């Protein structure tokens, strides 16, 4: 692919052209020239977009598609198209399929289904066989097939010895263990945050304590075993404190937060809209403030859409019985850009690559063109028309967002909305 991009503002702190408005020449998928103004003697296609900003390609560390087994929720093909049009050039895909992705051949299946796509797919293998928390899955074999981490999606490992062994074993090949932060005996049958709101609504509560106990346990295990631990989608102020202290203690731990947990609090559930039923649950405004502070000071390493398509049959039912999950790829940038600066938004959408051993390609001459194109200033109301996923379970519907994605350049391909 050959392309001349005109008048683009670079948003990439690792680029020599950060904050500059430049022309970018791409030849055969690589950035060959960057300058204030470039001519086009070879008559390449030119790209001229309103208030165009460009950064290195974004990465989402927690995406669920459904295929194989739950294609009615989302297919890999449409999921990757959605990711591309939402600005993501790489996604880590969870193992919550049917069958669960827990073997060498399962990982190869995911990668083969995405072969030749503009978006790079990085399978996360299950940590335990069939995600049943009884015995470890084939971690090393899955690594050889291309798995980037190991995680029983939204299923806590109850047995501390199993988590201890996982951390010890994975450290032999620099494997990344992901542990969902919930102590299930404490969370019980809770379907939302345990708080005055849950009492007033008559819904069973899932207390912050359930998350914090599990995190404290896993951090003790990490200190004992060594290894690499990632704690996904934290949601409470105390969780931020625990991880901040662990990092000060030089433990090899990272964490993420779901974008919706940075924006919505548990009072949204007064409508009993099941799109707001997520795991971990929406917490309080005090928790949100602590999470945002944790992002700003680097305690929280990355954000994720935690994109989880759920078909209408499992969402349009009584709140207690509805499945957890919201889609979030399409709204990710516009939502984050309403609460953070554009520079910080781009930073937290790209920062997770290193932890998951994914190639980072700054906007620099000679580098592969792996780029996200966007307008950070356009405000709009997010409606069903903006949803690209097969499932429509978005909690951002009818919310005001700031920032529109134009598309991506990745794997020698230009994809535009």
Active site residues: 306
What b-and-e string marks burial along 353-370, b requiring 16 or more CB atoms within 10 Å of the CB? bebbebeebbbeeeebbb
SS3 167: helix
> How far is Cα 179 from Cα 242, in angstroms, rounded to an integer?
15
409 phi/psi in degrees, rounded to 5: -120, 120
**Contact present, 106 and 135 (Cβ < 8 Å):** no
> How far is Cα 163 from Cα 260, in angstroms, rounded to an integer?
28
Of residues 181, 283, 188, 183, the one with CA closest to residue 237: 283
Length of the chain (residues) = 417
DSSP string, 320-388: GGSPP----TTTHHHHHTTTS-HHHHHHHHHGGGTTTT-----S-TTSB--EEEEEEEEEEE--GGG--
241 phi/psi in degrees, rounded to 5: -60, -45
> How far is Cα 277 from Cα 191, in angstroms, rounded to an integer?
7
**Contact present, 256 and 300 (Cβ < 8 Å):** yes
**Contact present, 73 and 390 (Cβ < 8 Å):** yes
């Amino acid at each position: 692919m050959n392309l001349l991009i005109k008048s683009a503002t670079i948003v990439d702190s690792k680029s020599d052209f950060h904050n500059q408005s430049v022309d970018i020449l791409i030849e055969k998928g690589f950035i060959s020239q960057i300058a204030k103004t470039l001519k086009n003697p070879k008559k390449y296609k030119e790209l001229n977009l309103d208030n165009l900003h460009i950064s290195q390609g974004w990465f989402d560390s927690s995406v669920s598609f459904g295929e194989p087994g739950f294609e009615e929720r989302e297919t890999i093909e449409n999921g990757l198209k959605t990711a591309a049009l939402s600005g993501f050039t790489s996604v880590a895909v969870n193992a919550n399929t049917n069958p669960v992705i827990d073997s060498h051949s399962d990982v190869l299946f995911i990668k083969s289904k995405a072969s030749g796509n503009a978006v790079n797919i990085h399978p996360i293998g299950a940590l335990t066989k069939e995600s049943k928390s009884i015995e470890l899955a084939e971690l090393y074999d899955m690594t050889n097939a291309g798995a980037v981490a190991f995680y029983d999606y939204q299923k806590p490992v109850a047995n501390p010895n199993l988590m201890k062994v996982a951390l010890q074993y994975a450290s032999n090949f620099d494997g990344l263990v992901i542990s969902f932060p919930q102590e299930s005996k404490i969370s019980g049958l809770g379907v939302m945050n345990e708080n005055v709101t849950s009492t007033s609504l008559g819904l069973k509560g899932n207390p912050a304590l359930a998350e914090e106990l599990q995190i404290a346990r896993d951090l003790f295990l990490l200190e004992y075993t060594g290894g690499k631990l990632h704690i996904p989608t934290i949601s409470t102020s105390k969780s931020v404190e625990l991880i901040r202290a662990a990092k000060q203690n030089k433990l090899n731990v990272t964490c993420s937060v779901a974008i919706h947990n940075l924006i919505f609090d548990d009072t949204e559930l007064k409508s009993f809209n099941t799109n707001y039923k997520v795991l971990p649950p929406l917490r309080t405004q005090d928790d949100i403030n602590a999470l945002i502070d944790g992002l700003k000071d680097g305690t929280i390493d990355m954000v994720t859409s935690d994109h989880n398509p759920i078909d209408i049959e499992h969402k349009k039912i009584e709140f207690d019985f509805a499945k957890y999950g919201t889609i979030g790829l399409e709204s990710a940038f516009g939502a984050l850009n309403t609460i953070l600066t554009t520079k910080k938004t781009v930073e937290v959408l790209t920062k997770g690559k290193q932890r998951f051993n994914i190639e980072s390609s700054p906007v620099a001459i000679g580098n592969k063109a792996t780029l996200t194109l966007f307008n950070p200033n356009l405000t709009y109301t997010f409606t069903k028309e903006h949803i690209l996923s097969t499932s429509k379970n978005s909690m951002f519907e009818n919310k005001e967002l700031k920032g529109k994605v134009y598309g991506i350049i990745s794997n020698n391909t230009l994809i535009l909305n």
